[in-house]
């Protein structure tokens, strides 16, 4: 497994070592010992989530606040998504910056999203199955979000806005600067 630091401190891209032959492929998607050696810190994932969506579905930008903040290890089991994170750590030199990458069943990349980030994705393929591990339990009382079309973020979602399928809740999230409760 190769761990690569992105342009935002703490945000990691993880490329598994894939073993393939005429039967298919195998790879280790998570190993606590490898994680601690490569990432430099232990992590205790306590909840797994999976979502199925069609092309143009945009989920996000979501985060959890306070004691319910979550770090996530995200990947795509089927299809392809454009995955986007926004650094909301006010003491970070990259506060308010976003990072995006393609996650797919073909590239098998994973992204580690530390606590203090908003996260979202849009489905680029006909359908996608998105999977993620969380280091803290979901808490409705601590959920928050940023508008996917926040003017100061200028995120190119790679699909025309008119063709995006976005939940009403996500459309009503505030812009950056007005997001903290």
Calpha distance 62→89 (Å, rounded): 14
Calpha distance 130→150 (Å, rounded): 24
Handedness of CA 13, 19, 22, 25 (dihedral sign): negative
Catalytic residue positions?
Answer: 62, 132
Q: Which long-range CB contacts under 8 A does 1-9 form with residues at least 24 apart?
A: 1/28, 1/31, 1/34, 1/38, 3/38, 3/39, 6/99, 7/94, 7/97, 7/99, 8/85, 8/87, 8/92, 8/94, 8/97, 8/99, 9/92, 9/93, 9/94
Decide: 124 and 160 in contact? Cβ < 8 Å: no
């Amino acid at each position: 497994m190769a761990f690569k630091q992105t342009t935002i401190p703490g945000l990691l891209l993880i490329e598994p070592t894939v073993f393939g032959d005429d039967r298919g492929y195998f790879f280790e998607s998570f190993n606590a010992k490898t994680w601690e050696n490569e990432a430099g810190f232990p992590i205790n994932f306590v909840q797994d989530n999976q979502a199925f969506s069609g092309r143009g579905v945009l989920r996000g930008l979501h985060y959890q606040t306070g004691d319910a903040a979550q770090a996530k290890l995200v990947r795509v089991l089927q299809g392809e998504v454009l995955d986007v994170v926004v650094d909301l750590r006010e003491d970070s030199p990259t506060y308010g910056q976003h990072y995006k990458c393609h996650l797919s069943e073909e590239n098998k990349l994973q992204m580690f999203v530390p606590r203090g980030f908003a996260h979202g994705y849009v489905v680029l393929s006909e359908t996608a199955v998105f999977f993620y591990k969380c280091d803290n339990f979901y808490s409705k009382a601590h959920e928050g979000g940023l508008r996917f079309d926040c003017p100061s973020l200028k995120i190119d979602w790679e699909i025309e806005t008119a063709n995006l399928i976005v939940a009403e809740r996500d459309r009503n999230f505030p812009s950056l600067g007005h997001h903290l409760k």
